[in-house]
Amino acid sequence: MDRITIAALAEMKRQGRKIVAVVAWDAVMAELAERAGVDMLSVGDSVGKNLWGHATENEVTVEEMLVVCKAVRRGAKRSLVSCDAPAGAEPLTAAQRLVKEGGADMVKVHASPEAVGQLAKAGIAVFAEFHGGRAVAELVDEAKRLEAAGAAMLDFRHSGPDAGAAVAKAVKIPVIGGLGGGPWLDGRVRMAHAALGYGMSWLNAETETYAHVASIALGALAAYAEDVRAGRQIKGQRG
């Protein structure tokens, strides 16, 4: 099957077909998501907090994002790959490296229309992030300015049904959302680990998710430890 392009995502918006995106940080998750039919893989700087144990995403460097982006790129044969430019990095330099060295098709930045324009003029496809919590007219205006600056796609966080629907209708580029998004947007993005319930916060959480992998992993590792301590052969061992 042909690789999904930015133009293909824009066509999905025109046809009213929802875009499915997940945040992935490794080749295995990229392969699983792709087999499940995901359209886009977002390599998030959320890896710092949710996988590496950093206090915030701000500690993640360009070098670290390159490692993660390359891993996802290796696992992705069909999906479009977007990669976050770390918050503390110079946007243009970081974006150029993530595309050239990391293999990203698109780079996500939280930046002004002017900065987005600089990246777009350099030939980089920009996934521009912006947040709700303001008047609908103001948010629509910002979305239009980001589109005019050259953004290829918008990540509208905390959109809400009113502002989200208004923004998605006001621009021709796809508008998807993670935190605080909903069916009023052109698609959704969710951390694969969150959808799977894989993480310490999901062990005893009441939060609704599609699976409870953390609990399954805990039980499996406890059973493995019990077999070792009891002197039994471990499962899956050959030779």
CATH number, domain of 35, equals 3.20.20.60
Pick from 120, 104, 103, 127: which is nearest to 19 by CA?
Answer: 127
Per-residue model confidence as pLDDT tens digits over 116-159: 999 999 999 999 999 999 999 999 999 999 999 999 999 999 99
Looking at the structure, do residues 101 and 78 belong to the same domain, yes or no?
Answer: yes
158 and 228 belong to one structural domain: no
pLDDT grade for 232, boundaries at 50, 70 and 90: very high
Q: Is residue 140 part of a domain?
A: yes
State the pLDDT confidence band at 1, using cuts at 50, 70 and 90. Answer: low
Residue 239 has pLDDT above 60, yes or no: no
8 Å CB contact between 134 and 109:
no
Q: Are residues 143 and 32 in the same domain?
A: yes
Statement to judge: residues 132 and 145 lie in one domain: yes
1 found inside a domain: no
Tally the domains of the chain. 2
Q: How far is CA 212 from the centre of its chain?
A: 20
Q: Is residue 239 assigned to a domain? A: no
Is 120 in a helix, a strand, or coil? helix
Alpha helix locations (H) across 3-90? 6-15, 27-35, 47-50, 62-75
Q: Give the position of tokens 């947007």.
A: 185
Burial class (CB in 10 A: 0-12, 13-18, 19+), 230: exposed
Residue 227's domain comprises 201-233
pLDDT digits (tens, 9 = 90+) for 9-51: 999 999 999 999 999 999 999 999 999 999 999 999 999 999 9
Whether residue 60 is found in the same domain as residue 149: yes
- 167 and 139 Cβ atoms separated by less than 8 Å: yes
Verify that 104 and 211 share a domain, yes or no: no
Residue 190 CA to residue 64 CA, distance in Å, equals: 21
| Structural element, H or E, at residue 97 | helix 91-100
Same domain for 139 and 24?
A: yes
60-118 pLDDT per residue, tens? 999 999 999 999 999 999 999 999 999 889 999 999 999 999 999 999 999 899 999 99
State the pLDDT confidence band at 221, using cuts at 50, 70 and 90.
Answer: very high
Question: Cβ-count burial of 82 within 10 angstroms (0-12 exposed, 13-18 middle, 19+ buried)?
Answer: buried
Query: 3-state class of 202 per DSSP?
Result: helix
